[in-house]
Amino acid sequence: MFQRPSPNIALSQQDNSHVSPDEVETVVGPSVHVEGDFSSEGNILVKGMVSGNVQTSRLLTVESGAKITANVKAGNAVISGEIKGNVRVSDRLELTETARISGDISCVILAVEPGALIVGKVSMEGMTPEKKRTTKSRRRLTKLVDDTDDDTNMEDEFSEEDSIDA
């Protein structure tokens, strides 16, 4: 039934996914159902169904027809399937035309192809610190101005006192 193999051939020769087969470490095949929290240190390729949190520090690829029902956390992500849950990507998130996401998205770089559906809040981490900085810097500026005013007043007072002593 099985032939003798040669170890130099790659795992899958006819894989049409975005990632080359050698880079993929975990593959959830079609018609396979994974229940529970699913985490990996390497790349994850999802072609089937996952009911539970998915977590990786590297690339997550969700193929068309695949479904994830829980929160997703990844370093980079290419989504072509359906996700019902929040998606948190620390770098680049790519949504293809078949992507369907029902949940909040947070990422640094977002690429969306026409046809992708998002129901939820999108927050880009690159924008939030600037707002905080502006408000903080304004506060700091006002404080500094107040401090300098106080200092000048103090200096004036000292000079007055010195002049009185003299």
Partner 1 sequence: MYIYLYDNFLRQKKYESQMKAIENRLTDFGIAGKILRLQRFANPEVIIEDEIKRGATAVIIVGNDATFGHILSRAARCDVIFGFLPIGQQNDIANVLGIPVGEDACDVLSKRRKVFLDVGWFNNRYFVSQLHIPFSPITIEYDEKFRVSSQSGLMELVVCNLQPFIWRGNKGDEFVVHPQDGKLEAFIRPMKKVGLFRKQYEDPSVFPFEEMVVKSTTPFEVEADGKQSKETKITIRLAKSRINMIVGKDRKF
Alpha-carbon distance of 64 to 62, in angstroms, equals 7
Paired strand residues for 93: 77, 110
Least separation, in Å, of the C-beta of 62 and partner 1? 14
Closer of 12 and 98 to partner 1 (Cβ)? 12
Closer of 40 and 123 to partner 1 (Cβ)? 40
Alpha-carbon distance of 45 to 96, in angstroms, equals 15
Least separation, in Å, of the C-beta of 5 and partner 1? 4
Closer of 42 and 126 to partner 1 (Cβ)? 42
The tokens of 16 are what? Answer: 């049409």
Q: How many CA atoms lie within 13 A of 98 on its CB side?
A: 12
Asked whether 53 and 65 are in contact (CB, 8 A), the reply is: no
Element (H, E) at 101: strand 100-102
Least separation, in Å, of the C-beta of 19 and partner 1? 13
Alpha-carbon distance of 86 to 71, in angstroms, equals 5
Least separation, in Å, of the C-beta of 15 and partner 1? 8
Alpha-carbon distance of 159 to 96, in angstroms, equals 71
Site residues (CB under 8 A) for partner 1?
1-14, 24-40, 42, 47-48, 52
Least separation, in Å, of the C-beta of 64 and partner 1? 14
Closer of 15 and 104 to partner 1 (Cβ)? 15
Closer of 48 and 85 to partner 1 (Cβ)? 48
3-state secondary structure of 87: strand
